[in-house]
Structures are given as structure tokens and as C-alpha cells.
Structure 1
Amino acid sequence: MEIVIAIVIGILVTIGTYLLLSRQLLRIVFGSSLISHAVNLLIITSGGLKKGNAPLLGEGKIGFTDALPQALILTAIVINFAVTAFVLVLSYRSFKANGTDDMEKLRGNEHE
């Protein structure tokens, strides 16, 4: 199962990199979001699937699962949502102010 997830992670990183290298600002935002989702999948996959009890002290149970990968992913999802919303608002304001979302025109390199 980890092989399939690794292939999916590779595809997401490839598509995200392709979108990051485009000229439109909205594609760049979606590319960074896709790469963030790929990293989340990578963290979950590297954490592994472990079966066990909840990590509670005083229960006397031996095997338990590690909750750290899930906590990292939940935090990363919230941060990714906030950053994506912020960058989408910035790109919208940039489009309204400049009339374009083409990165070359925003840089002033439209004749090169």
C-alpha cells in the first residue's frame, strides 16, 4: 500500500511543480497547495499504519499508536488552508489593481 501512496505523492509533486512553473498567479497558488497536500501524505505514510491502543497512561496496556503524525497533519492542514486563503486574497487584489494575473507582466518583463 505504501508503494501506491508513494506513486500518488510523486504525481502530486509533479503536477504541483508544473503548476508552480506556469505564468498565471492562480496556477501558482494551486501548485503550492498541491505540494503541501503531497507533503501531508508523505508524513502520514512515513508515520506508518500501526494498530494498537490509545496512548493513555495508567491503563496498563503495552502496545500503543503514535499520535504525532496525525497531530502534525492536522496542524499542517489548518496552516495550509490559512496561507492558501491569504494568498488567494492577495492574488485577487493584485488582479484588481493591475488588471492581469500574468507573472511576466506583473514583473514588467512583457517585452522579453
Structure 2
Amino acid sequence: MIETLIVAVIVGVWAFLALQSVMADYNYYKAVQTQEPAIWAQLGSPKFLRIPMAFASSKGVILLKSITNEHILALARKHRQAGIQFISYLVTVLVGSTAYFSFA
């Protein structure tokens, strides 16, 4: 019973953080597309699965650093924060699980 509750909490937090990260990604990408069309065009007007690749490429990073729109910069901070929270949670769960099963 308690194991099921623990698993439900772990999966629930993971799902919440994953959804938060996906929404931050979408909002950031959409804001760049609509509010900075020149930069979007220089990124190659990526579609669907190519969008994260364009934003992570060295050329993309340089282009994105030239953005001065405060709304997009705020979304970029939220995007980065959501990604860090998601990865940190995964690392914490993996390290905790490894430690638990090593000593159990």
C-alpha cells in the first residue's frame, strides 16, 4: 500500500514537471516565432522536432542571445528553469533509487 503511494507521488511529480517543461518549451518557441520573425527565419523556420535542435545549435544560441524583447527573455528564463527542475528531479530520483536498492 505505502509502496503504491510512493510510486504514485514520484510519477505524479515527474508528470507535473514534464508538463511544465513542455509548456515552457512551447511558449518560448512560439514567442520567438511570432514576436521575432527575423530571428525565426535565420534559424531556418524549423518545424516540429527540428525546433529544439535549432535552438540548441551554436548558431541558434548566438541568434537567441541577440533578442532584446523582455517578454521573450522572461520566457527563456522560465524555459531554462523548467528544464533544470525536470533534470534535477530525475537525477534526485535516480540517485535516491540507486542508494535505496544498494542498501536494501
Superposition TM-score, scaled by structure 1 size: 0.43
The structure that is helix-richer by fraction is 2
Tell me which structure has the larger Cα radius of gyration.
1
